[in-house]
Amino acid sequence: MKSTNSYLGGAVSFIVFAVLAFGQVSGAWGASSVSLSNITFAPGETVDLQLQQQTGSEADMRVKVTYKDGWANIELKHKKLEPAILYGGDVTAYVLWSVTPAGWATNLGEIRPSTDESKQTYRTNQSNFALMVTGEPFFLAAEPSNLVLFVNEAPAKEKKGVTAATFNYSDLTPVKRDVDNIAGRKWNSTIPLALAEARQAFEVAGNNQAKTYALDLYQAANDSLNKAEELFKARKSEKEVTFSARNSVELSAQANYTSLNRQVAKALKELEMARAAQMSQLQAQKGQLEAQKGQLEAQNVQMGTQLEQMKQDLLAAASTIAEARVSAEGVVLTLPGILFAVDKATLQPQGELALAKLSGVLLALPRTAAVVNGYTDSTGKPDYNQALSLKRATSVSDFLAKQGVQASRMKAVGMGDQSPVASNDTAEGRAKNRRVEIDIVVMR
């Protein structure tokens, strides 16, 4: 049996291979990469190449490549090549590929099975490539599957200008099959092989949702398959059955790849819509956050204004009691030594009068707290002065508490003779240093 296949580059070019094509299928074991021998062909030279078997079968393949006038003419001979459909699963066809070290794989055409010696010819305008044979769901496959059956060896004889170099190719698409080895298996069915291939190819397209995503092509493939079935039942010639069956296979292939491409397009569109929705949500959230930020900034300004106003009100009230000044957090009120007698921590009557007025201010401004700092002059030892200053500060906070100011709003601190405000060398200076300073803090 002899047949001739032309270069299928134009026929295959309409297919944009989908990313998910046969990506995750059960029973799809096989090579993840394959070592190939790239041959650089010289003009006018003919190179004989043996194709080395990669999986178990009884087939034998060899090629003769003649590079002339910018074209590599490939004559492939094989024998004992049982139908690819014997691998089961989705496999229906053998495909010959040219593969370059850069990773480009080109479908050169289908290899039709034959148990007798058969010859088929192919063409490519490439001048350096490796050859590989795979089992595929369709003879119009766009990328090689991982069911790698044959690869070329390096030339046995040296030719002028012809070189060989090994490289790895890994862009292999998983394909479902039942076995990896068909040695000993024979095609003994009474059903024409082309019809069996058409049935399987139509099933593969259906499994990849061609009925949903490529209905017109799927129905056309079904019509051609039904016609082939009718011709077979009517006992028409195998040639007529084969013609309709092969047409169904081509339509199934187109339906399959169209379906896969549309599924990818749908998935990308859904992803884009999801991203757009997410971006819209993020923009809305950003707007909300900016609005909240604006509100907080306005509140801050308002609170700052209120705080300054409270400080001024507090300063005016405190100034009627004793010397007062504005601080970063509120007002500092300085009560001179008239609060206490020398070396005493008991409040004097005039001191109690001043603190009674202060308690009224603190009660009127509940959003305030007071830190009572007691000071002494330098008379006496530091430890003694420290203890005395704390007693004086505590006397003040205790008095204010009796006037109704919550103890939790106050803190007594003994500062000893630290931070004098006048010289301790004179009686007048020492009197100024024996003081209590009350930091009245305005709370936000």
pLDDT of residue 83: 94
Least trusted range by pLDDT, from 3-12, 231-240, 320-329, 346-355: 3-12
What is the mean predicted confidence (pLDDT) over 95-119?
95
Dihedral Cα 294, 295, 299, 305, nearest 10 deg: 50
Q: Per the domain annotation, does 172 fall within a domain?
A: yes
Q: Per the domain annotation, does 311 fall within a domain?
A: no
Q: Are residues 116 and 170 in the same domain?
A: yes
pLDDT bracket for residue 386 (50, 70, 90): very high
pLDDT bracket for residue 56 (50, 70, 90): confident
CA 335 to chain centroid, in Å, comes to 67
The helix (H) or strand (E) run that includes residue 226 is helix 215-233
What is the mean predicted confidence (pLDDT) over 375-381?
87
Query: Residues near 94 by Cβ (< 8 Å), separated by ≥ 6?
Result: 81, 84, 110, 111, 112, 113, 133, 134, 135, 136, 139, 149
pLDDT bracket for residue 338 (50, 70, 90): low
Q: Specify the higher pLDDT residue, 8 or 261.
A: 261
Question: At residue 81, does pLDDT exceed 80?
Answer: yes
Q: Specify the higher pLDDT residue, 187 or 311.
A: 187
Judging by beta carbons within 10 Å of its beta carbon (0-12, 13-18, 19+), is residue 69 exposed, middle or buried? exposed
The residue type found at 290 is E
CA neighbor of 337 nearest in space, from 383, 392, 379 = 392
Under 8 Å between Cβ of 151 and 132? yes
- Distance from C-alpha of 207 to C-alpha of 393, rounded to nearest angstrom: 89
Encode pLDDT of 231-266 as tens digits: 999 999 989 999 999 999 999 999 999 999 999 999
Overall number of domains in the chain: 3
Q: Are residues 325 and 265 in the same domain?
A: no
pLDDT bracket for residue 329 (50, 70, 90): confident
Cα separations in angstroms, 336 against 229, 341, 351, 413, 432: 117, 11, 9, 16, 6
Encode pLDDT of 271-306 as tens digits: 999 999 999 999 999 999 999 998 988 888 877 777
Under 8 Å between Cβ of 111 and 157? no
The residue type found at 3 is S
Q: Are residues 162 and 239 in the same domain?
A: no
Domain extent at residue 238? 189-306
Question: At residue 444, does pLDDT exceed 80?
Answer: no
Q: Residue 23, SS3?
A: coil
Query: Residues near 40 by Cβ (< 8 Å), separated by ≥ 6?
Result: 127, 128, 161, 162, 163, 164, 165
- Distance from C-alpha of 1 to C-alpha of 115, rounded to nearest angstrom: 9
pLDDT of residue 433: 86
Catalogue the E-assigned strands of 280-409.
Answer: 323-326, 330-335, 368-374
- Distance from C-alpha of 80 to C-alpha of 100, rounded to nearest angstrom: 28
The CATH number of the domain holding residue 408 is: 3.30.1330.60
Question: At residue 310, does pLDDT exceed 60?
Answer: yes
Phi, psi torsion values for 371, nearest 5 degrees: -105, 115
Query: Residues near 425 by Cβ (< 8 Å), separated by ≥ 6?
Result: none
Q: Are residues 325 and 298 in the same domain?
A: no
Q: Specify the higher pLDDT residue, 245 or 10.
A: 245
Encode pLDDT of 136-180 as tens digits: 999 989 899 999 999 999 999 888 999 999 999 999 999 999 998
The CATH number of the domain holding residue 23 is: 2.60.40
Q: Are residues 134 and 15 in the same domain?
A: yes
Q: Are residues 1 and 114 in the same domain?
A: yes
pLDDT of residue 351: 82
Under 8 Å between Cβ of 148 and 54? yes
Q: Output the DSSP codes for 358-381.
A: HHHHHHH-TTEEEEEEE---S-S-
- Distance from C-alpha of 233 to C-alpha of 240, rounded to nearest angstrom: 12
- Distance from C-alpha of 19 to C-alpha of 244, rounded to nearest angstrom: 30
Q: Are residues 175 and 198 in the same domain?
A: no
pLDDT of residue 337: 61
Question: At residue 24, does pLDDT exceed 70?
Answer: no
CA neighbor of 14 nearest in space, from 216, 195, 258 = 258
Q: Are residues 157 and 279 in the same domain?
A: no
Query: Residues near 193 by Cβ (< 8 Å), separated by ≥ 6?
Result: 83, 85, 113, 187
Residue 99 CB neighbour total at 10 angstroms? 23
Q: Average per-residue pLDDT in the chain?
A: 87
- Distance from C-alpha of 114 to C-alpha of 131, rounded to nearest angstrom: 20
Q: Output the DSSP codes for 162-199.
A: -EEEEEEE---B----S-S--TT-----SS-HHHHHHH
pLDDT of residue 30: 59
Last residue of a domain, one of 124, 151, 185: 185
Q: Are residues 297 and 349 in the same domain?
A: no
pLDDT of residue 20: 38
Q: Per the domain annotation, does 134 fall within a domain?
A: yes
Q: Are residues 392 and 294 in the same domain?
A: no
pLDDT bracket for residue 5 (50, 70, 90): very low
pLDDT of residue 110: 95
Q: Per the domain annotation, does 150 fall within a domain?
A: yes
Question: At residue 16, does pLDDT exceed 70?
Answer: no
Q: Per the domain annotation, does 81 fall within a domain?
A: yes
Q: Per the domain annotation, does 268 fall within a domain?
A: yes
Question: At residue 312, does pLDDT exceed 70?
Answer: yes
What is the mean predicted confidence (pLDDT) over 330-358?
82
Q: Are residues 12 and 153 in the same domain?
A: yes
Report long-range pairs for 154-158 (Cβ below 8 Å, ≥24 apart): 154/37, 154/39, 155/39, 155/47, 155/48, 155/49, 156/48, 156/50, 157/48
Tokens of 261: 């491409």
